[in-house]
Each structure stands twice: as C-alpha cells, then as structure tokens.
Chains A and B, each alone.
Chain A
Amino acid sequence: MTSKPSPAQDNPWQSDNVKPFIRIRNVTKKFGPVAAVDDVSLDIYKGELFCLLGGSGSGKSTLLRMLAGFEEPTAGSIEIDGQDMAHVPAYERPTNMMFQSYALFPHMSVERNVAYGLHRDNVAKGEIRQRVADMLELVQLSGYGRRKPNQLSGGQRQRVALARALIKRPKLLLLDEPLGALDKKLREETQFELVTIQETLGVTFIVVTHDQEEAMTLSTRIGVMNNGKIEQVGEPREIYEFPGNRFVADFIGSVNMFEGIVTETEADFVRIRSKDADCDIYVSHGVGCAPNQKLWYALRPEKMEISRERPDQKENFFEGIVEDIAYMGNQSAYRIRLKSGMVVRLTRTNRDRGEETPITWEETVFVSWGPSAGVVLIA
C-alpha cells in the first residue's frame, strides 16, 4: 500500500525471469486442531541468506523443520531445486541443519562429529580426512579435532555445529537460532563470520531467529512471521522503513502508533486528523485510501525533533510534557506525555558533550517531524 522508492538492483527476487530455488506453496501444518503454520507461500532464491523472524509460537521453527524433513506438512507442497520434497525423509534431503542446541554427538570427537555426514555417504577415507581438515580450518578450529564437545566453549561448539552442517555441501543450510546461545559480544563477531562463510561457499541459508537485530544484520531478506502466517517479506531496510502493517511496524524496532481519520486524500499527499496526536498529520505522498477512512500513522522514535520553541509549521507537531528521560550513552530516550494522554517515545543522538541547558523533567516541549518521516498503515 505504501509507495516506496525501488532502486533498480539486480536482486533475483525483483526479477521475473529467475526461478526460485525453494518454493513453499500453501503449506499448512496442524498439530491437532492448532495450525502452527497456516497457508504459507514463499519463494527463496539461490544464494540468499533468508531470515524467518518471529516470536515464540509464530511457526518459524515448524516451517524450518518441514524444510529439513522432520515434520510433514498437513497440506501444501515444498520444492527444493525443482524437486518435490513430499515423503522424502530427512536423511535423503539435500539440506542440512544447524540446531539451536547444536545437537553435537556428545560421545564423538569434533572430527568424528564433522565427518559423520560424509561417512553416511560412504565417502573415501582419504577424502573425508581432507574435507574435515579443510572445514575445521574454515571455522578456525584446526587443532581441536580430537576434543570432545564438552571440552569446548560455547562459541567453539557453535562452529563445530556449523562445520558439521556444511561438510556435505548441502544445497540449503537451515539454521535454527544459530547465535541464540552466545553472549552479546560473541554474537556480534559471529554474525559477520557467518555472512563471510555464506558468501565464500555460496550456499543458500535459511535462518530462524527471534532477534530482529540479528535478522537485520545477517539477511538479504526477512520474512516476518506471526501466528503461523507470513506478515511481510522484504529486505531489512524495507521491513524497517516501510512496514506493511501494524504488527510488523510494532515488532521491528519501536514505534509510536497514532490512530487517525483521513481528511484529505490526493495523488501526491494525504492529510490525517489524529486525536491521539492532537494535530493534523501531513504525508507527502499518495495513499490508496478514502476520505473519512480510519488508519494508523507509525512514527519511529528517531525520526522526530524535540525543541523548546514552537516550530514554524501548521501540521506535524504537537506539544507535550517531558515525563521521563533515560540517558543511554550514545543517545537519550524521552517519554513525552501529550494532552490526549498518549505517551510518545522519542530518541535523540547525544552529539554534544555538556549541553548547557539540556531539556529536563516536567518541561513543556514541542515535537515535530517531516512530511515523509512516518508510515501510513491501513491494516
């Protein structure tokens, strides 16, 4: 619904003549009466690093497990590289999975863990040795081959799990919360390692995560899941700047949501009256809506200005009282109470040190924003 700038890129999902590598068609998975995955259709292209993002119970893991072959879809079909996956057991699929718990075999050494998949394919001994050594080097674990999983740190286990999943050169690698068990610092480093490895090998990755920051950093595209359905698919920037509905806007990042009524709608602008915001909102692009229609205006905290002076504009600003300020180092977050009773969250980068008269508690302030700062949402 939102019009968006579409930079002419040569991404496969923007081209009509590239065939998708993975086709998920109307897939539903029911556990008893409950549909964990509800009529999902999705195309994923070769070489992508696709993130399934959602809260717990959103169905993202179930979808991943259906791709791996641990669950059979109740309805619908899954195609990988042109091959229908119905009734193909996990051990015959061209996919490999990296488990959330890593699922390393506790009674086998790192080498035997990594070599396990090759042994199942009856690869020659010499080749196995070579490939295991190469793979351990790739994940920077050369010299750890003889250790048992319980003699490794969390980060090392994570890399063993990755090596084990990659050694069979799968067409598709499935990663279930790959960084979930690592601490914050290690997670940031590993994110970039993961992207490097993915680019080096050119394998298609599908990553399940509940961490939006992780999804943003890693992926070429994100599919946001909720209640078993895909809410929106898009590049990270697209998902953040142009959320398709209120759920996505709210789930990704933080947002102030104003309910309003359309007062004027034209081809190149829209005017909305919002009781929440206590002002008129002017949007500098057209929206497919009718006059008097109810809709929502989503405004991210960093897209607003705060000042003591009344801004020089007719719309897109309101007056409020600073209720709370949280100093967070690189930025400060303000909670501002409007006359309507709504509390707006706003962030501001701390550019200067030792501001002389910083805005403080209980002060009356004006908050303003530009005509293209927010997103109009119809659903």
Chain B
Amino acid sequence: MNTDTSEETKPIARKRGIGWILGTIWISTLSFCALFAYQLPFITAYGEKITVAGKAKSYGWGPGAQAWLGTDKSSFDVLSRCVYGARLTLLIGVGSTIMGLFLGGVIGILGGYFRGRIDRVVSIIVDSLLALPPLLLALLIVYRLDDLKLKIWFWGITRPWEITITLGVLAIAPLARITRAQTISLREREFVLSARSLGAKNSRIILRELLPNLMPTMLTVAFTGLGILIAAEGALAFLGLGVERPQTWGKLINISRDDLDSKPWATLFPCLFLLLTVISFNIIGDRIARRFDIREATL
C-alpha cells in the first residue's frame, strides 16, 4: 500500500535517480577494495607504517600523496585501515543479516500463519526483544559471551562470531514483526484460499505461496537493516567491544577522536566510510521498497 500514487506513473529510470547510482557504486567499490585488499597496490599492508623521513611519527602525514587519507596515531595509513576494517564489517553485517532473516522470518511466518497460541508466543518474544534498547542488549550479550567462552561452553568462539551472533539477535525482532504483519494480510488472500481448497499442505502454502510474496518485504528490511547493523557494529567497536585485528571503523573513530581538534582526518574519514556505507544501503533498501510498492518499514 503505497500512499505515493504519483510514483506509479513515473517511468522507472526517473525512479532510480542519482542516489541509487552513487550508492551502488560506493558499495561495489568498497566491497571490491575490501575483497582484494591484499592485491591492490594503493592499499598499504595492514601492519605497515608510513614513515616521515624514515621514522614513524604520530599523525605524520595529513591527507596527501604519501597517504591518501593521512596517517593515524600509530602512523598507519587511514585508507588502508578503513578498507581492512570494511572487510570484517561487511562480513559481520551480512552474516548477522542472514541470521536475522532466517530466524526472524521463521518465527514471523509461523506466528502470522498459524495465529492463535503460536502467535501470542511470537508476539511476546518480539516485544521482549524490542523492550530493551538494542545497543544495551548487544552490550549485554557480547560481554557475557566473552565471559562465558572462557568459563564453560563456546571455547571456539571468536570476537567476530560473537558480534555476528549478537547483531543477528538484534535483527530478529524487526524482521519477525514485519514478516508476521505481511503474512497475516497475505494468508487471507484468494490465492492462499485456492491453494488450500486444492488440498495443499501448510508447508506447501508457506514455502510455495507465501514465501515468494514475502521476499520483497524481507529484502527491503534486510537492506535497510544491513545499514543499521553496520552502524551498530561501529557503535559496539566504538564502545570498546570491537575486534582486535583488523580494527573496524568504530574502533578507528574511538582511537583518534581525542585528537579531533588538531588532526581531524583520522576521525572524520572512518566516519565518512561508515556514513556512506549506511546511506548507500538505505538508498538501495528504499529503492527496492518503491520497486515493490512496500510501505515504510520502521526499524
């Protein structure tokens, strides 16, 4: 149900707009650089310091020819730090989105399709997950996982996995909520009725009739959510819960923010990376939503 009726009449090319193009270019460039960080010549190796007259100097270079985006406190290249950070950030974002899509989708469809008692349980789970501020929930889970892996179970679990799991848990509630709402409206439609009257089983109706129709919505929320999860990962790293190596954007921001006054590049460029990535994912999500006529999904 799109309230913007005038959008319908406009040609598709008009709909995409400059933002979409820039967004996809940014995401693909970033992913490409991140993927081939070791091979690309203009990205210095992760541990390599850029020296000033043979010596490592804190914030030795501003943005310029030696280091495109300047060097940071430990005289590392900010650009290469950002790209290496992106490797992990993107991986964590995608991983947790997939986890959220799967778990949230499953409980959302179950709740919306079967209604009754199952629906009650699903609603309560979703409400409970939403009742705690998301970042607080993330803090609690990461810290506890960190503790527990030393104590009893989860020996093998590493920081990136902890964060992926945590963010995946955060993604469950919004996805479950929107899937449930969509399922509720879809299950009353004629095609579901006709499938049922032909004797289709519940599993078939869910997988063959409902799921394809839910996909656009879930995809939209997933893309928008990807941006939000990447921002959340940044916030976690910023608050000291990041990955040690490679340092992600939040960590980079946190390290150099005390010198924001005199050496702004070391803080502002990682910020810019994060900002552009989040905006790009939001734009892509937004365009998919318009393409499939989905009403705003508030996350």
A and B associate: no
Using a CB–CB distance below 8 Å, which chain A residues touch chain B?
A: none
